[in-house]
């Protein structure tokens, strides 16, 4: 019998299953599809088999540490995009690539604000971006929006704009309550521990996470403007609405 797949990712916070953009995207995709994973939520990347987070150890012992490659591996058996059209599949791959490459990083706030508005218009009253069932694009978009919504930013202008887009806020709340229902519970107060290099680096890690969110939103805006994603149409999904079977066993590992 093959060993279970294991996912190593950053631990959660702010009411989210992970405070790291890439970890949250992979976790969300796995939850959408019901992929059976043993999840290790940690705060030290050196405890992962690759020394980075997220990292997937496959049932054959292979270690994959690039987020889109992790999702590509999961898609072989657990495919959230199986009923997308060829155009929608191409759009999804291009969108993910641009997000990862941080397209248009110099126009952060202006482009991010435009992007949020475009996403709101594209989503409309739908449950997910391609209809009634989630796809891999939803995993990536949710990870950016949820972190932007919950993160402690030095300026709240972009968050205020997002909170004014009620359908995007409802979209995030819907995914969080449907696929991560236990994450909304109030977390216990943090343990008092002596200062160490990891805790001293926490502000820098948070800064990098915030910059990643903003750069990704800029990428969304660039792609939406260049490819016309806001006008994509899709026939009604053949999948019945509802959640996939939950197949992840999760554990938080203390340092």
> pTM value?
0.74
Q: Tokens representing 211?
A: 């910059």
Written as tens digits, the pLDDT of the chain (255 aa) is: 567 899 999 999 989 999 998 999 999 999 999 999 999 999 999 999 999 999 999 999 999 999 889 999 999 999 999 899 988 888 787 766 655 554 344 456 777 787 788 889 988 999 999 999 999 999 999 998 998 888 877 778 888 999 999 999 999 999 999 999 977 544 433 334 344 444 444 555 555 556 656 555 555 555 444 444 444 444 444 444 444 444 566 655 544
DSSP 66: S
Terminus-to-terminus CA distance in the chain, angstroms? 31
Residue 15 CB-half CA count within 13 A: 16
Distance, CA of 217 to chain centre: 12
The angle formed by the CA atoms of residues 81, 85 and 90, to the nearest 5 degrees, is 75
Q: Which residues of 208-229 are buried (b: 16+ CB within 10 A; e: fewer)?
A: ebbebbbbbbbbbbbbbeeeeb
**Which of 110, 121, 124 is closest to 158 using CA atoms?**
110
Cα–Cα distance measured from residue 173 to residue 175, given in angstroms and rounded to the nearest whole number: 6
List the domains of the chain with CATH numbers.
5-252 (1.20.1050.130)
Q: Tokens representing 75?
A: 């898609």
CA 172 to each of CA 143, 146, 183: distance values in angstroms, whole numbers, following the listed order:
9, 6, 13
**Which of 17, 13, 71 is closest to 40 using CA atoms?**
17
Residue written as tokens 């992979």? 26
Cα–Cα distance measured from residue 33 to residue 13, given in angstroms and rounded to the nearest whole number: 23
């Amino acid at each position: 019998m093959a060993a279970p797949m294991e996912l190593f990712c950053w631990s959660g916070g702010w009411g989210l299953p992970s405070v790291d953009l890439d970890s949250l995207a992979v976790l969300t995709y796995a939850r959408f599809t019901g992929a059976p994973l043993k999840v290790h939520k940690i705060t030290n990347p050196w405890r992962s088999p690759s020394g980075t987070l997220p990292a997937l150890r496959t049932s054959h012992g292979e270690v994959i540490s690039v987020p889109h490659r992790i999702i590509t591996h999961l898609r072989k058996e657990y495919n959230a995009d199986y009923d997308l059209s060829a155009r929608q599949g191409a759009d999804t791959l291009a969108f993910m690539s641009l997000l990862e490459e941080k397209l248009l990083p110099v126009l952060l706030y202006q482009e991010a604000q435009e992007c949020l508005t475009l996403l709101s218009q594209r989503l409309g009253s739908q449950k997910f971006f391609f209809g009634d069932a989630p796809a891999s694009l939803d995993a990536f978009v949710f990870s950016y929006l949820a972190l932007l919504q919950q993160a402690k930013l030095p300026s709240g202008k972009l968050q205020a704009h997002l909170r004014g887009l009620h359908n995007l806020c409802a979209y995030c709340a819907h995914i969080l309550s449907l696929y991560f229902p236990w994450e909304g519970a109030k977390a216990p107060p943090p343990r008092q521990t002596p200062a160490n290099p990891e805790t001293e680096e926490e502000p820098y890690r948070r800064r990098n996470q915030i910059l990643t969110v903003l750069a990704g939103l800029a990428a969304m805006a660039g792609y939406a403007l260049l490819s016309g994603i806001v006008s994509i149409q899709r026939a009604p999904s053949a999948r019945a609405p509802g959640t996939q079977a939950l197949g992840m066993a999760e554990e938080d590992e203390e340092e």
